[in-house]
A and B are shown apart, each in its own frame.
Chain A
Amino acid sequence: MIRVVELHKAFGGQQVLRGVNLELETGKITTIIGGSGCGKTVLLKHLNALLLPDRGSVMVDGADITKIGESALNAIRQKFGVLFQGAALLDSMTIYDNVAFPLREKTKLTESEIEKRVDERLNQVGLAGMGYKYPAEVSGGMKKRAGLARALAMEPEIVLFDEPTTGLDPLLGKSIHELIRKMHGAFGFTGVIVSHDIPEVFKISDRVAMLANGVIAEAGPTRNFLASSNPVVRQFIQGDVEGPLSVL
């Protein structure tokens, strides 16, 4: 389980997170929604210590990752897979080498075992036979699929998805959601999705949390969340310009 306790983070003079408290249940997909620039990605990057808080803690399986040393942190990071917003594939490598990269760096698998695992992952994300291409030679949707294949290469316990459908057309977006659902079924990881692809993302979420004004305004199982009477949640889900959330 991941538990975020009283997380505060500011950049320069701008306070982004003002005391976030959130529990992410093991084996479930939790989606974090919120307006653009409200700090969703900042919160996500705290979950595997890509960012460190000014105050507060992030507990992963009982360990506070904001206070542990580098080697302990690396051991915990190996439990994570991350699909970045732009996929963040290493552009000097082919897609095959990108997926093989964590396996080569972090396991003692032989090259033939790595090949088998990479082919399996590429097949699962619908990129069979595309491994020889470089990231610059494929579309945005294919990059996201390749990023997902790399995120799942080490069979992580937790997978973080940073805006997995941003920049994709609705059909591709749906196919990425479907892929996440399918992979979750196959691997049973704990998923954390940051998205504003509403309402599509609710279809694959077990739980939803909404970040507004630097705190979690509402969190709970998807059905309860959608039925929430919290005016902030209602305004955001319904896309109303008027309401407690300032749009401009």
Chain B
Amino acid sequence: MRYVKWTFIALILLFVGGFFHYTLPQHDIVRIVNTYEERQDLSGWTTMFWQAPDNGSTTGDQTRDVQFIQAVRPNGKSIVYRNEDTGWGWPPYFKFDTANLYTEANDAISTKAAPEWVSVTHYGWRSELLSIFPNAMGIKPVEGPEAKIFPWVNIVILVGLALFLVTLYRIFQQFRQRTIDPIVEDVEDVLEAADQKKDSAVDKVKGWFRK
């Protein structure tokens, strides 16, 4: 039973952690090498890793052209981003500047001989197996491949969320202390009174037989 419980807790933690890791912004230091646009026929459950049609580049069904940004990390490994509007949907980045970002990405293309390093802000995961791509949010030039970007935004969001959860817990505590507990006490008092009444009635009956 204990294993079941811990497996359950671990699964929940994994899910919550995964959710934040997917949704919160991250920065990659990369060199952009190319951009392309490709027709995507989205189907099945991996559709949830793409924007909904009404937020995407086209409306209608799940077939549409999606822009991609190809980049190389300082260690030589490749990474490909998709470039889609999030619009008013989830996650709440309110990205509407896909076309502008595409232009910036094209402007930032550099060669191996004369590299221009940029920080790509993105959310999401790259999975070759599932054919899913992180969504690029912004491109900023940086000095070099060793540049580090401190995750202020993530800290603010996580601290804010923690404060929110603590507040909810305090609200619940106050509600329990001021509203539920008095009711429970009242019920206990009533039960106790009834119990005493019953006891005295029983004593009375016993009294009859004692005589």
Indicate whether A and B interact: no
A residues lining the B interface (CB < 8 Å): none
